[in-house]
Amino acid sequence: MADHIEYVEISRPAAEVWAVLADFGAIARWADNVDHSSLTTEQATGVGAARRVQVGRNALLEEVIVWDEAEVLAYELRGLPPVVRSAVNEWRLEGDGSSTRVTLTTTIDTGPRPPQKVAARVVGRMLGRASRELLDGLRTEMERPADRSEVTA
């Protein structure tokens, strides 16, 4: 197994960051590397909620396996190359009231043999770049002014 960890500081309270992450089917609204996303279950939140995510020519299915309100969201990724036995993204929020540290850990299992471990590093680098893009997109979304209109008299 290999873990790839990325994080970002966002100048918004954890509850607000959670609200964006918890809108599970809407990741395409703020993640530039996601072309399309939609729920594949009637359940929109909590363990068992699932979505389909289109990234370029690749379609992934993601199912929530951990849902700790305003703290942890983890989901299993399916649809990666066959060399990947399993992959999980875990979002962890740590807030101090006015800002939030968001950590995204991607855990990849390709098996124990040396060639499989090499594959884990290669896939890990690819998913690491995707994680960085996800975090950057989340920060951009969260730090965007709520109302960009100006009123002139």
What average pLDDT does the chain have? 90
More confidently predicted of 116 and 152: 116
Asked if residue 120 is part of any domain, the answer here is yes
112: containing domain: 2-143
Tell me the pLDDT tens digit for each residue of 63-104: 999 999 999 999 999 998 888 889 999 999 999 989 999 999
Short-list 79, 80, 84, 46, CA closest to 65: 46
Asked if residue 84 is part of any domain, the answer here is yes
Query: What is the number of domains present in the chain?
Result: 1
| CATH number where 110 lies | 3.30.530.20
More confidently predicted of 149 and 14: 14
How crowded is the C-beta side of 10, counted as CA atoms within 13 Å?
29
Asked if residue 78 is part of any domain, the answer here is yes
Q: What was the pLDDT predicted at 133?
A: 95
Asked if residue 105 is part of any domain, the answer here is yes
Q: Which residues have a Cβ under 8 Å from the Cβ of 86 and sit 6 or more positions away?
A: 76, 107, 108, 109
Confidence of residue 146 (pLDDT cuts 50, 70, 90): low
Q: Give the residue-averaged pLDDT of 37-63.
A: 96
Q: Give the residue-averaged pLDDT of 109-125.
A: 83
